Amino acid sequence: MGSADVNALYLQIRKRLIESGEWEQIRAIMSTKLNESGWTDDVHHRSKEIARNMEPLSFVDLLAETAPRAQSMSSVPLAVKREVSTVIRQHIEKQFE
């Protein structure tokens, strides 16, 4: 399967999940798990510390400095990754039953 086919399949699955409301359920589960694990607080505190030391304070610069670490999968707790991956897998399998 070529990358164009994979991308088309991803877009189709994502569209189905959005239309069915399951995308929002997955997002809510992920948000809850990240909050429970302390990840959200960690990103918030790290951002505040960077902002305190930034002169002049700039939202664009703050985002540029904090986003890469927050978006990296290495910063997300393994238990959260596994649980959310399982939920996504279940929703996708349900789409193809």
CB 70 within 8 A of CB 34: no
| pLDDT tens by residue, 63-87 | 999 998 888 867 889 999 999 999 9
Architecture of domain 3-95 in this structure = Orthogonal Bundle (1.10)
Distance (Å, whole) CA 67 – CA 94: 33
Beta strand residue intervals within the chain, DSSP E: none
Mean pLDDT on 46-70: 92
pTM value is 0.76
Q: What is residue 30's predicted lDDT score, i.e. its pLDDT?
A: 93
The lowest-confidence range among 2-6, 18-22, 51-55, 64-68 is: 2-6
